Amino acid sequence: MSHVLITGANRGIGARLAELYRAQGETVTATARAAEGYAPLDVTDPASVRALATAMKDETVNLLICNAGVYLDKGEELDEGYRAEMWAESFATNVTGVFLTVQAFLPQLRRSNAPRIAVISSQMGSQARAPGGSYIYRSSKAAALNLARNLAADMKPEGIAVGAYHPGWVRTEMGGETAEISTAEAAEGLVSEFDRLSLDTTGCFRTWDGHDHAF
């Protein structure tokens, strides 16, 4: 039995991932900013991240899933939208929050005999797909992808594998009702992909349905 830590697990893909891993008999620490029944974690607050890491200081984490994310600039107009505060909040969650979480839980990951980190990015962060719009979200997910790639390079000598993943266009609060796939489809595909993550595949950018994605 392994221990899976999931950020942003109180809804959408994160909630379904937690359900699937529990059904497999894994120990799951599901986190949320403020929701009953979840470990409290605000990835934008360094003190909150440190507090959970301290509370779990004697634990082993086999798989860290950095799922917490926001998409605040949907529908913004180029001429007058995309406020500076929106950029700051988005990057605090989608990029800095990933780094702070990884950094804080390195001791718990290092206790595992095969530690893995899965960073939820998006095809919207791929340089190969740049149709315009959603500048903040696209930029933050591109940064998350770049972060995952660099973490993979630095952590490989320690035996820690890091992968970045496109979860699909999912029918969630973020993805909207017209999205292509359900949270169940996305989560089930991602679990399969996380299972394949190893030092041989570290630094990958994979889709929920098993394909390499262009960077």
On whether residue 212 sits in a domain, the answer given is no
Q: 62-71, 160-169, 200-209: lowest mean pLDDT where?
A: 160-169
Report the CATH number at residue 180.
3.40.50.720
Q: How many domains does the chain have?
A: 1
What pTM was estimated for this model as a whole? 0.94
Q: How far apart are the C-alpha atoms of 107 and 115, rounded to whole Å? A: 11
On whether residue 202 sits in a domain, the answer given is yes
Q: Cα 10 from chain centroid?
A: 14
More confident residue, 184 or 136: 136
More confident residue, 126 or 9: 9
On whether residue 87 sits in a domain, the answer given is yes
On whether residue 214 sits in a domain, the answer given is no
Instruction: Report the relative pairing of strands 39-40 and 63-66 from DSSP bridges.
Output: unpaired
Q: How far apart are the C-alpha atoms of 21 and 24, rounded to whole Å? A: 5
On whether residue 215 sits in a domain, the answer given is no
On whether residue 90 sits in a domain, the answer given is yes
Tokens standing for residue 174: 């973020």
pLDDT at 96 over 60: yes
Q: How far apart are the C-alpha atoms of 23 and 20, rounded to whole Å? A: 5
- What residues make up the domain containing 55? 3-207
pLDDT at 134 over 70: yes
pLDDT tens digit string along 21-56?
Answer: 999 999 999 999 989 999 999 999 999 999 999 999
On whether residue 47 sits in a domain, the answer given is yes
pLDDT for position 172: 58
